[in-house]
């Protein structure tokens, strides 16, 4: 049985619990030397001090699960190797089995990194590693099966018979992927630089919940604005941050740039690099940069397959987030925690259904005919105080007055917007208040001022003068 890099036994004894990595893991992940190697049997199902909970499989078990790796079980292929759909008879579980290509771009080190990363890191937006196989020369990883495949399958180069993703589904995927990156950057200790974020590495479950996969290139980061200088630049062309591709400077903000590329793909439905397009449109980021400066051109970025079915405010905010993530200078890009907050407002669907719109009395002024629905005398609301002509009509008119004045508050609860974080609500709220004030002043002008001396500020002034 051959050997491959893993944790020395001394580090196993000193491992910490939770999401912290054992000491020595930093050296394993971030160094290219082969000095520290032990037998693959050290990756056992008992794990590192209880941290690793993955199972070990024999090659025969996984061959049986995938029907001897038959071509009709093949569901994907990448730099690591081929991915097959399998069925574990022992647990009755459908799984995805990734087999290492011996001549591929990734080797034993990447295999070990992925096993340890996914064994120690757990989050709803990270793919779940069930187990691995290290029999002889065979290297295989066993994941939970994601029925909808990758984001790339549903976004780029769609076949005519395949429906495009709706706007809110796209924002939901972006929000989930951002949460996964936030966990790697902010919650893992030490922080993890994913280094290979792209649409083909974002997998989708049956409800379009995204999960990050393929952690073979992940690297432990120093945190903050400190950076590592990679001896070998790894990743996918187009998704790599410019400073990383140029001089190998790797930080957490490098992942932020990659996320900006994915978000731009979600908005446009275009590949980041597409040589089939005209010269000025082959590079997605370079093509979109001039439009970032002019909000009137934002609709030109939208995927034509959406057929204008998107909220204008949501588009403006999504493009703004993408533009911030794609800043040339790494230090001015936002942290993923800030990106998550910004996208949290965009991921929520419309209040009732995707076809419904905001109530008409919020979007435009009320139609004159609506006044006939109310029986005079109407209540007058000034500074939150409700007044009426007589006690007999007070209760009925109070209901009309309260429903009219509480429109903005109902909208806030309906959309669940945070007033301090959403300019959209503040605009709608002020507009609703203007409607209430205008309707109240109409009532004041329509009634005899002698009937309501205490409600009309002008009449109070005249009384004072007399």
Q: Which residues are catalytic?
A: 196
Q: Is 371 annotated as a binding residue?
A: no
Strand 55-56 to strand 129-133: parallel, antiparallel, or no bridges (unpaired)? parallel
CA 180 to chain CA centroid, Å, is 8
Q: How far apart are the C-alpha atoms of 413 and 355, rounded to whole Å?
A: 20
Annotated binding site: 98
Give binding residues for ATP as ranges.
Answer: 98
């Amino acid at each position: 049985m051959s050997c491959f890099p893993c944790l020395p036994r001394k580090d196993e004894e000193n491992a910490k619990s939770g999401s912290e990595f054992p000491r020595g893991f930093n050296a394993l992940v971030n160094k290219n030397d082969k000095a520290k190697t032990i037998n693959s049997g050290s990756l056992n199902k008992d794990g590192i001090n209880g941290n690793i909970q993955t199972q070990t499989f024999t090659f025969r078990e996984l061959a049986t699960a995938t029907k001897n790796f038959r071509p009709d079980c093949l569901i994907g292929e990448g730099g690591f190797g081929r991915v097959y759909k399998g069925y574990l008879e022992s647990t009755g579980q459908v799984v995805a089995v990734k087999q290492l290509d011996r001549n591929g771009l990734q080797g034993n080190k990447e295999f070990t990194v992925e096993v340890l990363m996914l064994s120690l890191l757990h989050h709803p937006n990270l793919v779940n590693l069930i187990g691995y196989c290290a029999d002889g020369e065979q290297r295989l990883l066993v994941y939970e099966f994601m029925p909808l495949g990758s984001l790339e399958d549903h976004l780029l180069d769609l076949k005519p018979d395949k429906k495009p993703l709706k706007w809110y589904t796209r924002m939901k995927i972006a929000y989930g992927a951002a949460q996964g990156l936030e966990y790697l950057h902010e919650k893992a200790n030490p922080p993890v630089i994913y280094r290979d974020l792209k649409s083909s590495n974002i997998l989708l479950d049956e409800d379009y919940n995204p999960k990050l996969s393929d952690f073979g290139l992940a690297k432990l980061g120093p945190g903050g604005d400190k950076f590592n200088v990679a001896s070998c630049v790894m990743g996918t062309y187009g998704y790599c941050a410019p400073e990383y591709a140029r001089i190998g400077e790797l930080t957490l903000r490098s992942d932020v740039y990659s996320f900006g590329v994915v978000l731009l793909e979600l908005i446009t439905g275009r590949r980041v690099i597409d040589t089939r397009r005209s010269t000025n449109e082959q590079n997605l980021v370079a093509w979109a940069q001039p439009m970032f400066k002019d909000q009137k051109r934002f609709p030109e970025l939208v995927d034509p397959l959406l057929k204008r079915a998107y909220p204008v405010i949501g588009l403006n905010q999504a493009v703004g987030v993408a533009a911030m993530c794609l800043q040339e200078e790494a230090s001015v890009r936002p942290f993923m925690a800030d990106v998550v907050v910004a996208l949290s407002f965009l991921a929520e669907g419309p209040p009732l259904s995707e076809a419904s719109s905001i109530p008409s009395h919020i979007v435009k002024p009320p139609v004159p005919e609506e006044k006939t629905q109310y029986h005079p005398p109407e209540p007058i609301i000034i500074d939150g105080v409700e007044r009426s002509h007589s006690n007999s009509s007070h209760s009925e008119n109070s209901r009309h007055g309260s429903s009219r004045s509480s429109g903005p508050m109902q909208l806030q609860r309906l959309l669940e917007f945070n007033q301090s974080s959403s300019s959209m609500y503040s605009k709608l709220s002020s507009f609703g208040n203007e409607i209430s004030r205008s309707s109240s002043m109409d009532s004041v002008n329509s009634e005899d001022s002698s009937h309501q001396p205490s409600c009309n500020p002008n009449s109070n002034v005249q009384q004072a003068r007399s």
